[in-house]
Structure 1
């Protein structure tokens, strides 16, 4: 089967010091050690945030040959890379975020140029300024990106914020696919242990972003031409849709600005399949249909799907045609990708 992974991340091996350029002590950078290898013998590095260790990563993040070798080992035909959210710089002045966006967007294309036609990139934008974000999205698409990845909020502004909706309408008008990734998770102090920021906070942020688009009237206001996909299976959205629907039907204040009940909007967005569980995948298919799901792994991070594609390939309730649809066909249509060689 053809397999297209739409949710994977990258870092350049090096980049100019953002701290030296802009000041401040919380900029990301990579601390390399020539002698530090993982179990497969690939070089490792520590992602730093200022002087604090943030996350260990390895060469698949920056080396396209390592990435291609691991794709080959797991039968992945094509892959879309996107920045890790720590690179977004939404909390910085817009000119600094624009510099970062252009720096990392160009670096992503450099990696893809070495990908033998199998790697593609989504760009980041300075989402704190709609006008600047629109201009960078257009520039990035013209330079070879296949879509735009955004974080699910800017500070306290959710997806129904006026500026975010302006950006999404721009993407709809220019037929730019959008992938929404959670970041800067809520309840940081209460989820700081046991990686709960990732296992609890990220799904909660993703659900919040979908609900805010629905109840905030985002889907009513933005053109149906918008192609938008939310990461991590939509978080708990599918499981809690009944609760959301019940609230909308029986409490006026729960309807927000939406013109229709939440279930009305299920054909307006896509979800990726990074849910790691057959029962969860079955629920997604039941709620969203196989037309609205895209295969994603969160590679090359340890909380991603370690046997890439196996969840779908071994799903007991899906036909071969449905599996191929989820694994590759939907992604190629969503991102206008070429067929793999």
Structure 2
């Protein structure tokens, strides 16, 4: 069994009376795809984004048994007025619920909320759960603010209370330190690292010990940053027992690596050596298969590089399917 825990959806259209700041999905002559028009975004969305039958066909072709579907990241427009952001989120969430209801054993949905208004975002979580969605996707920053900022703590506290999963998708923030052409590569890696680090450094991980949170693309550079944080906390290399008098920033309670091992991370890191490092540092029970499909093509078959690591069968099963259900809070089905 294999669960793709990082796949995306797009609604095929939007209400005729939607606010002008909403996206549009324009027809493409002679094509089953549609064109997403949203601000500066121009994106050809193939029909697998919004057609359940096509998604199942693609799953079968790639050896995928189920997908966790989250909104395509350009929809996470926190620069919209909060009321418009909420209206957009509700439209997307309604479609996500309808799409997943077409094949509930193969499609699991995540919604979205207007994080530009943390109180409204927290209040909307119950409606997300009531629609049958298993959690929400949020961006790695909110208008440049770290998600670990204390203003977002009530949102994470409510997600924990409602037992909803949170998926943090790396999204570029405004920066002039790298060219715009690096937004999908290096900037995404930086953003994932900043998001995960902020959840620890900002106190959210301590305040929400039961929060089920996952980071896209293994949280970028975070897995290489956290051993340094561990050294500052413990004063030793290689996660040896802490020597507080040698530490630079020791605090009581869990270490940075202990916090990091509460999170989940998708394995879309493009290299078997990087995958091996994630298994060794963070643990096989923290990893999820992800693909970004259909925005990006999957490996063929799905999980090919992961399987090349020659992991023990029970370890491979953790990563390919069991961890995804644990993250979502779903009782795992028997492997088939």
* TM bucket, shorter chain: 0.7 to 0.9
Cα displacement (A) at 1:267: 2.5
Residue deviations 1:88-129 (CA, integer Å, cap 9, x gap): 231122111110111000001111122253111001011122
Which residue does the alignment assign to 2:317? 324
Query: Paired residue for 1:153, among 132, 141, 155?
Result: 141
Cα displacement (A) at 1:197: 0.9
Which residue does the alignment assign to 1:214? 200
Change (3 A) 1:145 1:288: same
Q: In the aligned structure 1, how far is the partner of 2:36 from the partner of 2:175?
A: 23
Which residue does the alignment assign to 1:47? 36
Cα displacement (A) at 1:130: 2.4
Residue deviations 1:136-187 (CA, integer Å, cap 9, x gap): 1111111100111111211132122223111111111221111111124343
| SS of residue matched to 1:89 | coil
| SS of residue matched to 1:106 | helix
Residue deviations 1:206-234 (CA, integer Å, cap 9, x gap): 10001111122221222x11111111111
Cα displacement (A) at 1:271: 0.9
Counterpart contact for 1:4–1:79, Cα < 8 Å: yes
* Pairs within 5 Å for 1:1-341: 2-16=1-15, 21-24=18-21, 27-36=22-31, 43-50=32-39, 52-115=40-103, 117-187=105-175, 190-193=178-181, 196-222=182-208, 224-247=209-232, 255=249, 261-302=255-296, 305=299, 307-316=301-310, 318-337=311-330, 339=333
Counterpart contact for 2:139–2:169, Cα < 8 Å: yes
Choose 294-303 or 229-238, whichever is displaced more.
294-303
| SS of residue matched to 2:315 | helix
Cα displacement (A) at 1:56: 2.3
Q: In the aligned structure 2, how far is the partner of 1:138 from the partner of 1:256?
A: 38
Residue deviations 1:281-315 (CA, integer Å, cap 9, x gap): 10001111111111111111226545422122222
Change (3 A) 1:257 1:172: farther
Structure 2: segments with no counterpart, 5+ residues: 236-245
Q: In the aligned structure 1, how far is the partner of 2:195 from the partner of 2:249?
A: 16
Q: In the aligned structure 2, how far is the partner of 1:243 from the partner of 1:159?
A: 21
Number of corresponding residues: 324
| SS of residue matched to 1:46 | strand
Q: In the aligned structure 2, how far is the partner of 1:225 from the partner of 1:237?
A: 21
Q: In the aligned structure 1, how far is the partner of 2:178 from the partner of 2:186?
A: 10
Counterpart contact for 1:82–1:123, Cα < 8 Å: yes
Counterpart contact for 2:144–2:173, Cα < 8 Å: no
Cα displacement (A) at 1:249: 6.1
Structure 2 length-normalised TM: 0.88
Change (3 A) 1:303 1:234: farther
Counterpart contact for 1:8–1:296, Cα < 8 Å: yes
Change (3 A) 1:186 1:247: farther
Cα displacement (A) at 1:54: 2.5
